[in-house]
Structure 1
Amino acid sequence: MIYLVSGAGGPNFGDDLILALWIRYYRERGYTGPILVDFLNNASSIKLHSEDKNVYFSGFLKSMTKGREGDFSHYINVGKSKISENLDGFSESIKQALGVPRFSLDQINFIHVLGGGYINGVWENSFSLLGAVSQLKKISGVKIFATGLGLSPLKPSSDSDFASINKIVRSFDFFEIRDIDSYNQISGFMGFSENVIYGLDDNFLYPIKSLVRRKRSKSLHISGFSKTFQFASDGEIISFLKNSSKEYDRILFWLCNKSDVEIANKMQSLFPGLKKLTNNMLVNVGIPFGPEDAMLTARFHPHFMAARAGVGGQYIANSQFYKSKHMSILDLGSGFEKFNSFDSFSKSRRGHLVDRDAALVRRKRLIADHIFTHIK
């Protein structure tokens, strides 16, 4: 069995896309055994990934990330202690998920912590996941891998935090960090560690052309949280959408997360021609990009997909957290520009990330293939 730890389950477009890609990868490489996904156990996300009948779902480790009162070392120890104190409960959760009467830890090929920004310094409680996975290795000897993690902003505030993060990261057999800010922050207090590499986001597991449904129509893609557009009045939104409809055949809103629903519904009520794209459409059917498309987004992975496909646009970043995330895509070659106002919105240059896509996918595959060698 392969045990995957994922940030998916919201559902959330980026995390659910990454989960779908890794399931696809393991199957296409020839692994036919059970895959167990530990994530926020949400029926909507389960439905996104339920076509494969040998994929199962649990929320045992993810349930350890509750609470906000504590530092990094506290939550790392929470993860460790909950595994030590309830190892039988962990095994029982697997038996229930798989629907089998017996299960032993040596049936796990490895534990793979999938990429994303769900483990980071904004949510110290998320480090419970790393503590729990590390403790499972200590108890059972199972191999543990992490790929494509975005930990920034990561600012430990005490010696115990530094020591705990250092020890937990070094306990992994392989630990890949997707962005330079996160890598510099980790290496700044850890120094060199041969198991830690500056790598890539997990969405590079497959070429962009395999994730896109090419369209001849010209579309404006919009993506963002409801609070992203609080600056705009109804009149400004209507004016922007009406003016955009003169240039674009379609206006498409990406419903990446439940926090996007309010603003998507509002925009659609103000401009009935707007079409909403669900995560099922985006993850399982394909992203409808055309050569003349543009995007306005506050979200990270929509920006990533557009830049990889050669689509230009503008990004909104209202916090340091999102500034760092968008900057990491710009560093790779996105041509996106920073959004200032609806009046000044325009399609940016294409950027050169699209030209690097094949090479970056090959780099990511080297990491994936290394992990795959540990299938028993």
Structure 2
Amino acid sequence: MQPGPIYLIGPSGNPNFGDEFIAAAWLKYLAKVRPGTDVWLDCPQPGLAQVLFEGMHPRLRVTNTLWRLVHGTSELAPDAAAETIRARVTGLGSPLYDLGLLKLREAETLHLIGGGFVNGTWPAHAGLVVAMQAVHEVTGARLVATGQGLMPALSEPPVESLFQGFTHAASRDEAGALAYGIPHELDDAFLGVTAEIGRAPAEPGLYVCIQSDTVDADRFDKAVELARSAVQEAAARGTTAYYLEAIPGADRLAYESLADLIPEERFIPFVRIWSEGLPLSAEQTWVTSRFHFHLLAAAAGAGGTAVGMKKGYYDVKHESVAALGSGWALAFEEPAGGDGHGSERPATPEQPNLLHRNLQALVDRKLAEARSIYPPLPRTELLLHRAAAARRFVAARASDALAALPAGLTRSGGASRKPSAPSRSA
């Protein structure tokens, strides 16, 4: 294994709160334990990702090399796509990709960070793993995958070979661990949950978020109806309702159907959540289809209902949080009954919020996994790295300040002068 950068691969930059939260958690962790190491983030939208994660790691670079490669082969059959990806990574020869692929060869570690993006819902994304394995063949780089949401399982490549050659690969739910024969660990959000709780003021009340993306047919209308009933019942009790946005646009559609009950001033957009923090409190009740809102709100001690939107995908996600003891009701669509219609009967929680009660142990477990992958440096070396990073930061800011000076000003702030013309004799 060669020394070099850490290369993270994830679905960041759309934006999507859960995906962005996971990437931010890893960047902040690496800023503590590897401040002097170059960190690359390969994601679909590097422009916005650069803005979202600005300042989270002193040596962050953002690109989309592997995501472009995967998207460029997504129309091919799985075998053909995999072969094309391997050939481009190992053989080069394409001006569209070569510079990025050469940079990729410098990496010491290739790390597929958490999220539910390599599975049967998006089978083309298996090409990311194929590309990682191809780099390993060329350079011997270490391969790592954490917090993976792998269900529904892929049909191609065979599950037993998906993580072949990986030093560490873990699923965030039991179903994925069993299907792929890898360890069952925690979602990567547990790296950042402690810092997020309390970051933003959190009023008591009902908090709602219903997505319109990645849903089964007719599921959206039923989920909105469930949320409407919850808001009406809250209003009858004198409880204030708020609506939160995890993905701009995709989460706005449900709000438009509830705007007669929740005024615009209680709509909390993604930009505010990202900038100020997710409002989290044990004095809240939630109705949400978003997985990471379920996880983080339960971690803060809130109760609620998790709404499943896609069978085999979102039910597995929410069940993984329930298995940790969130105590939330699970509102999944039942199989069609005798009347030909599915029923919406949230299961009544049978236990208190053990996730909140056991949060520190869960965070410690996730930190142990992170440290096994990126052990903290010896204190002396870490201090040297941090000092160097601070010097680079100051130098960069000074350079930016000088570049911003009006034309004609010197570094000392005085006006520049043209040299005076030589005197001529009378």
Give TM-score scaled by structure 1 length.
0.82
Greater fraction of residues in helix = 1
Indicate conservation of the 8 Å contact 1:208/1:305, yes or no. Answer: no
1:309 maps onto 2:300 in alignment? yes
1:66-122 deviations in Å (ceiling 9; x for gaps): 365566555444432331243776562378xxxxxxx6834x231111011011122
1:298 maps onto 2:297 in alignment? no
Residue 320 of structure 2 corresponds to 328
Listed as ranges, the gaps of 5+ residues in structure 2 are 334-343, 382-426
Residue 58 of structure 1 corresponds to 63
Give the 3 Å change call, closer, same or farther, for CA 363–216 of structure 1 in structure 2.
Answer: closer
Matches of 2:233 and 2:163 in 1, distance apart?
Answer: 50
1:19 Cα deviation (Å)? 0.3
1:39 Cα deviation (Å)? 0.4
Indicate conservation of the 8 Å contact 1:37/1:57, yes or no. Answer: yes
Calculate percent identity across the aligned residue pairs.
Answer: 23
Indicate conservation of the 8 Å contact 1:48/1:284, yes or no. Answer: no
1:1-376 map, 5 Å? 1-41=5-45, 43-52=47-56, 54-66=59-71, 73-86=79-92, 92-93=99-100, 105-106=105-106, 108-156=107-155, 161-162=157-158, 165-187=159-181, 196-208=182-194, 210-213=196-199, 215=201, 217-226=203-212, 229-231=220-222, 241-245=231-235, 246-268=237-259, 271-273=262-264, 275-318=266-309, 319-339=311-331, 350-373=352-375
Matches of 1:212 and 1:276 in 2, distance apart?
Answer: 20
Residue 396 of structure 2 corresponds to none
Indicate conservation of the 8 Å contact 2:281/2:297, yes or no. Answer: no
Indicate conservation of the 8 Å contact 1:149/1:177, yes or no. Answer: yes
Give the 3 Å change call, closer, same or farther, for CA 272–176 of structure 1 in structure 2.
Answer: same
1:32 Cα deviation (Å)? 2.8
1:248 Cα deviation (Å)? 2.5
1:218-269 deviations in Å (ceiling 9; x for gaps): 12211221365423789x8767545434532341323335421222344336
Matches of 2:12 and 2:155 in 1, distance apart?
Answer: 26
Q: Which amino acid aligns with 1:92?
A: L
Matches of 2:50 and 2:313 in 1, distance apart?
Answer: 28
Matches of 1:170 and 1:104 in 2, distance apart?
Answer: 19
Indicate conservation of the 8 Å contact 2:151/2:313, yes or no. Answer: yes
Indicate conservation of the 8 Å contact 2:282/2:303, yes or no. Answer: no
Indicate conservation of the 8 Å contact 2:123/2:154, yes or no. Answer: no
**Which protein has the larger Cα radius of gyration, Structure 1 or Structure 2?**
2
1:188-230 deviations in Å (ceiling 9; x for gaps): xxxxxxxx42211101113435444364631221122136542
Indicate conservation of the 8 Å contact 1:112/1:146, yes or no. Answer: yes
1:317 Cα deviation (Å)? 1.2
Indicate conservation of the 8 Å contact 2:9/2:43, yes or no. Answer: yes
Q: Which amino acid aligns with 1:330?
A: A
Matches of 2:230 and 2:85 in 1, distance apart?
Answer: 48
1:274 Cα deviation (Å)? 5.4
Residue 407 of structure 2 corresponds to none
Q: Which amino acid aligns with 1:321?
A: Y
1:132-153 deviations in Å (ceiling 9; x for gaps): 0111111011112111111111
Indicate conservation of the 8 Å contact 1:10/1:42, yes or no. Answer: no
Indicate conservation of the 8 Å contact 1:11/1:256, yes or no. Answer: yes
Indicate conservation of the 8 Å contact 2:116/2:149, yes or no. Answer: yes
Query: RMSD of aligned C-alpha atoms?
Result: 3.3
Matches of 2:52 and 2:300 in 1, distance apart?
Answer: 23
Give TM-score scaled by structure 2 length.
0.73
1:283-339 deviations in Å (ceiling 9; x for gaps): 442221222201111121111111111111111113221111111111111111123
Matches of 2:376 and 2:76 in 1, distance apart?
Answer: 35
